[in-house]
A and B are shown apart, each in its own frame.
Chain A
């Protein structure tokens, strides 16, 4: 999976590392700003009230 991604990226080693860093940051932003908030709001993990 990661090997396929690595081999697909164009350029030399430095260019590939830079592109991987950009992809990782984009994935993190997607997770932190959209995916994780959606999961936390949907599944309402922590209950603090007396029911």
Chain B
């Protein structure tokens, strides 16, 4: 009798221990599955949802900046189209405060409606991740319009991915930068791949310290490969022509942002 009571106690204790172990495994499994789902959701949000929302608002913000410049300039004056642009020294744009917009980038290769506002500085929080900008100017590089290297940065896979298609550029592709005074056109020349620490790509003559510049370059930098920031991809373009606002925008981008000249 005593023996069977002892066995019954031990049996119950063993069953309870076994149930506790099973519950522990079940809860651990649920926590791990939940963590996996949360991680997956985060990357879906980060790479697609957040990226898409930022791309849309960055485009809209730059359309508004461009329209404000258009409204302010030469209101009611008849414009003289000049499809070729002027092969002259363009105006030099003064340096701006960090986080202040001063130009708009157009790259037809990135899409027929592509445009992004360029702000001063390359701070992540206030410029590159900002829903109004997405592209920033390295303030240690040359000014827009001066001889040397006007260098800008943008994301490739997130926060609007301003330079998502940078690797798709083909030599000869046009790029344009709009300011309140007009449009600068550049012709894409080549790509370069460097480590993130190679600051020489920002020099007036990229990767040639101490050399005096003789041309105006536009340099785009972004991360490489896609979905990684182990390296940087660099795109170089060479200044081609200047389009004063009074002559209207270059033909390639006349319809971007539904602009009517």
Q: A-B contact count, CB below 8 Å?
A: 76
* B156 at interface by CB-CB < 8 Å: yes
* B153 at interface by CB-CB < 8 Å: yes
Judging by beta carbons under 8 Å apart, are A49 and B50 in contact? no
Chain A residue with the shortest CB-CB distance to B33:
A2
Which of A2, A41, A49 touches B30 (beta carbons < 8 Å)?
A2
Known: A32-B49, A39-B42. A50 touches B154 (CB 8 A): no
Judging by beta carbons under 8 Å apart, are B46 and A48 in contact? no
Q: How many residues of A contact B (CB 8 A)?
A: 19
User: How many residues of B sit at the interface, in one of the four size bands?
Assistant: 35 or more
Chain B residue with the shortest CB-CB distance to A31:
B41
Judging by beta carbons under 8 Å apart, are B50 and A48 in contact? no
Known: A36-B50, A47-B223. A1 touches B31 (CB 8 A): yes
Q: How far, in angstroms, from A39 to B38 measured CA to CA in the complex?
A: 12
* A37 at interface by CB-CB < 8 Å: yes
Judging by beta carbons under 8 Å apart, are B221 and A41 in contact? no
* A44 at interface by CB-CB < 8 Å: yes
Chain B residue with the shortest CB-CB distance to A40:
B46
Known: A50-B202, A50-B232, A51-B196. A45 touches B222 (CB 8 A): no
Q: 6 additional contacts, CB 8 Å, given A1-B34, A50-B202?
A: A2-B30, A3-B26, A31-B42, A39-B42, A46-B157, A50-B197
